[in-house]
A and B are shown apart, each in its own frame.
Chain A
Amino acid sequence: MKHGKYRFLAMAILPALALHVIFVLSPYAQAFYLSLTDWTGVAGQANFVGLDNFARLGEDPLFLSALGNNALMLIVVPLATIAIALFLASMLNLGGRRGRAEVQGVAGGKVYKIVYFFPQLLSVPIIAVLWQFVYSPNNGLLNGFLSAVGLDGLARTWLADGSVALWAVMAVMVWSAVGFYVVLFSAAMDSIPRELFEAARLDGAGRLATFRSITLPLVRDNVNAAFVYLGIAALDGFALVQILSVGPGGPDGATEVIGLGLYRNAFSFGQFGYASAMGVALFFLTLTLAVIAMRSGRRTKVEMA
């Protein structure tokens, strides 16, 4: 009997495992190996160069500015997205008050939830093209809006001004991600027993105190997961930058991200080996981030008794 069980388990697991090894693990292994070669990407031969490619990373000014930009994105994008999403989700689910103790969402919350989710339905290239129109210097929505409300002084060539270009890109990332996390946090908040909020309200807790002491600790797991996902997204940003930014990656490296450098080195410069080294570096950065986020999440976990 036991024998049969193992055979069944093997049959269930092995095909998926085989696919995973062939299509996920083996490309990873290959990238690790390629990062130690000078492979051009267009021939079957490659020479082993040891850690040369990794040494070159440290001297590549574009890679270094990409690291800096990705680091800033890593701080700003998850924080901003999660803050906005938490605010919107708690307004949608717990913002309303009725009677002496009842806690509910604001009116029309369901409609808002759907509207916020819209950007999630668009693919990144479409979002990028859309925002290119928004940021367009002469007849773009943003500059048009600014001049309509008399703030002409603030209008600028958003994507060609090195001091604001990266912020313009990050704003798009936040805009396109918020909706998903509103829905995620809403679901988490839905599962918190209403009595907790009502008890807090009876005890005289305001919205902010309720949020800090009840809502946030009880959706902590979701917030941690969000940090990991958003962190990974912030370390990427390739597709958006590739289509939206000047250059791309400009002006003058202002919006350069690791993925873009990787793509350029592989497909424009014929340096697949060096590009693989960038990929390996990115892999370890992402892995480190995920581990840190998971560990910090474990410590602060609150059990609902």
Chain B
Amino acid sequence: MNPTTRRSVLRGALAAAATPLLAGCVTAGGGDQGPALRGQVTKDNPLGVALDAPLEVVIFKGAYGDQYALDAERAYNQRHPQAKINHQAIQKVGEALQPRFVADTPPDVVDNTGAGALDLPTLVKANQVSDLSELLDSPSLHDPSVRVRDTLLPGVVDDGTFNGRPRALNLVYTAWGVWYSRTLFAERGWSYPKTWDEMLTLCGEIKKSGIAPWTHQGKYPDYVGDLLVSMAFKAGGNDLLVAVDNLEPNAWKHEAMINAATAFAELVGRGYVMPGSEGLSHTEAQAAWSQGKAAFLPSGSWLESEQKGVTPENFQMVMMPPPQLSTSDKMPAAAVRAGGAQSFIVPEKARNRQGGMDFLRTLFAVPQARRFAELASALPSVKGATEGLRLSSGVDSVRNAVNAAGDNAFRYRFRTWYGTLKKSWDDATGELFTGRLTPQQWADRVQRAADAVARDPNITKYRR
């Protein structure tokens, strides 16, 4: 070990590090794909797709498979027969695409979904995803008299919008709420409560019958956290929701937030939550619920497909909106958190950007969306796509909840926009559910985290 050698190596490393610094570029050579390809805009080709431009489609192949995408590609090919389609179905979207975004050679359309998906706000901040206004304002494929924008369910466009610009389109329409077994409830003569007082009364009854009233996926505290803030927003109304998303001072200390936190703390305090739930993974908690060890479980509309194989036949799972905190809530009992999941994006630097958008126009038209609903047994974001389809108990209950909510479906964005706030909210909620934080302390802590995000110049802010 010769110190001079070590030092000279270090010097060399520093020099190597400084070279790209001067260039301001992370990678040495970014591949330039050339300008985006464009074709003639005609009545049949409103987005001006270059007819012979190849199209690269990247699909996340998860629970929903990729057959629906292959079908949509075939439909795209029928309209653009000269286009060569490169279909890629993968699991780790982020790992595969990050280097391509960095090198400015991204695919033309991406299903940015799954555990390894790229962070959407980061992509937006780095200006890597196209503004989809052009697509949304183009005539829909199944009814040219209606713009694509107007064929989507409420909130779908809003959910992918960042500071007024639509950047992502979600294919799956998701609602979040409280799940129970219709069979179990019919057997025992229980009915789903409308207010929290009724919930507590029912929980007392359930507990007496030897079943734990609630369990939750404690390892990931956002499952209950989402339910908690949903109840708070129902009580405090849209103003509170917007205040929270806009990081306004003291929004988390609103009376409705404290009341919702108190309501859940009471659930724990009265012993209405299955012991040990705070340490259970989603698999464990949901298995316990499917086995009838607990009556209520918070989750989103994907629960039914996730529980396939562990749920007894004739379990008949149903999702309902969280109960009202009281009858003086600003939103009606039917109000439910609903919005999109499974985000499709068109990279800004895509060579065939217009083709990417036209692919989405194909996928989000009724025939393809309906095909997706059949194949994936999930609710697509397109109006009327499931009309006349026979749906399973869970998906049907989600559709009913969404229909009943109508314009009272709501969605909040803070958890997507601000990762650091979501993390603090997660941690605080976990502590609230084990009784280590009081509702007031919970609100104080999340508010501090929100204030910190608001102050942080490194974090891009979004408003609604």
Q: Which residues of A contact B (CB under 8 A)?
A: 25-26, 28-30, 32-34, 36-48, 56, 62, 132, 135-138, 157-162, 246-247, 250-253, 264, 267-271, 274
Most A C-beta atoms less than 10 A away, residue of B119, B127, B220, B436? B119
Known A137-B275, A247-B219; contact A36-B21, beta-carbon cutoff 8 A: yes
Of B160-168, B279-287, B314-322, B355-363, which binds chain A? B279-287
Would B24 and A40 count as touching, CB distance under 8 A?
no
CA distance A41 to B427 in the complex (A): 26
Spell out B's residues near A (CB within 8 Å): 13-14, 16-18, 20-21, 24-27, 30, 94, 98, 101-104, 116, 118-119, 121-123, 125-128, 218-221, 274-281, 284, 288, 419-420, 423, 426-428, 430-431, 434, 436, 458
Chain B residues in 8 Å Cβ range of A251: 278, 427, 430-431, 434, 436
Contact of B26 among A44, A250, A274 (CB under 8 A): A44
Q: How far is the CB of B355 from chain A (nearest CB, A)?
A: 22
Q: How far is the CB of A77 from the nearest CB of chain B, in Å?
A: 22
Pairwise interchain contact B276-A138, C-beta atoms closer than 8 A: yes
Q: Kindly provide the distance from the CB of B216 to the nearest chain A CB, expressed in whole angstroms.
A: 12
Query: Which B residues are CB-close (under 8 A) to A160?
Result: 218-219, 276, 278-279, 430, 434
B419 to chain A, nearest CB (A): 4
A28-B13, A33-B17, A246-B278 known; A43-B101 Cβ under 8 A: yes
Q: How far is the CA of A34 from the CA of B102 in the complex (A)?
A: 14
A29 to B28: give the CA distance in the assembly, Å: 13
| A8 CB to nearest B CB, Å | 22
Q: Is the CB of B279 within 8 A of A158?
A: yes
Q: How distant is B115 from chain A, measured CB to nearest CB, in Å?
A: 10
**Interchain Cβ contacts under 8 Å between A and B, 11 examples:** A28-B13, A33-B20, A42-B118, A44-B27, A160-B278, A246-B279, A247-B219, A247-B427, A251-B431, A251-B434, A252-B427
Query: In whole Å, how far is B22's beta carbon from the nearest beta carbon of chain A?
Result: 10
Closest to A138 in B: B276
A44 and B434 contact, Cβ closer than 8 Å, known pairs A137-B280, A246-B218: no
Bound-state CA distance A45–B25 (Å) is 5
**In-complex Cβ contact of B94 among A37, A135, A267 (8 A):** A267
From A33, A136, A268, A269, B279 is in contact (CB under 8 Å) with A136
- Are B419 and A269 touching (Cβ within 8 A)? yes
Instruction: Tell me how far the C-beta of B160 lies from the nearest C-beta in chain A, rounded to whole angstroms.
Output: 17
Q: Which residue of A lies closest to B103 (CB)?
A: A44
Please indicate the chain A residues that have their CB under 8 angstroms from the CB of B25 in the complex. Answer: 44-46
A26–B24 CB distance below 8 A: no
Q: Are B430 and A42 in contact (CB under 8 A)?
A: no
Q: A159 vs B275: C-alpha distance in the bound complex, in angstroms?
A: 14
- Report the separation of the CA atoms of residues A28 and B13 in the bound assembly, to the nearest whole angstrom: 8
Contact between B436 and A162, CB atoms less than 8 A apart: yes
Given contacts A43-B101, A246-B219, A251-B434, contact A269 B278 (CB under 8 A): no
Interchain Cβ contacts within 8 Å, total number: 139
Partner of A44, one of B104, B121, B426, B428: B104
> How many angstroms between the C-alpha atoms of A135 and B27 in the bound complex?
45
B13 to chain A, nearest CB (A): 5
Best-buried of A40, A42, A137 by chain B (most CB within 10 Å): A42
- Write the nearest CB–CB distance from B20 to chain A, whole angstroms: 6
Inter-chain CA distance A264–B122, complex, in Å, is 13
Chain A residues contacting B16 (CB-CB under 8 Å) are: 26, 29
A85 to chain B, nearest CB (A): 29
Minimum CB–CB distance from B162 to chain A (whole Å) comes to 13
Measured between C-beta atoms, what is the minimum distance from A12 to chain B in Å? 19
A42 and B278 contacting across the interface, CB-CB below 8 Å: no
B24 and A48 contact, CB distance less than 8 A: yes
Q: A32-B13, A33-B17, A267-B94 are in contact. Are A42 and B123 (CB under 8 A)?
A: yes
Interchain CB contact (< 8 A) of A32 among B17, B126, B277, B436: B17
* CB of A41 to closest CB in B, whole Å: 6
Q: Is the CB of B427 within 8 A of A42?
A: no
From the candidates B21, B104, B275, B280, name the one contacting A33 in the complex (CB within 8 A).
B21
| Pair A33/B126 contact, Cβ less than 8 Å | no
* Alpha-carbon gap, A290 to B84, bound state (A): 55
Q: Find the B residue at minimum CB distance from A271.
A: B458
Q: Given A29-B17, A136-B284, decide whether A270 and B125 contact each other with a Cβ distance below 8 A.
A: yes
Pick the contact of A159 from B30, B98, B101, B279 — CB < 8 Å?
B279
Q: List, in ascending order, chain A residues with CB within 8 A of B428's CB.
A: 252
Bound CA–CA A269/B281 (angstroms):
23
Instruction: Tell me whether B119 and A270 are in contact (CB under 8 A).
Output: yes
The interface residues of chain B lying within 8 Å CB-to-CB of A47 are 24
Q: Beyond A42-B101, A137-B277, A267-B94: 18 further Cβ-contacts under 8 Å?
A: A33-B17, A33-B18, A41-B102, A41-B122, A44-B25, A44-B102, A45-B24, A47-B24, A48-B21, A56-B458, A246-B218, A246-B219, A246-B279, A250-B221, A252-B428, A252-B430, A269-B419, A270-B419
A269 proximity list for chain B (CB < 8 A): 119, 122, 419-420
Assembled-state Cα–Cα distance A46/B434 (Å): 42
Interface centre among A45, A47, A161 (most CB of B within 10 A): A45
CB distance from B196 to the nearest CB of A (A): 25
Report the minimal beta-carbon distance from A158 to chain B, rounded to whole angstroms.
7
Q: Which residues of A contact B21 (CB under 8 A)?
A: 33, 36, 48
Which of these, B104, B122, B280, B431, contacts A270 with CB under 8 Å? B122
Identify the closest chain A residue to B16 (Cβ).
Answer: A29
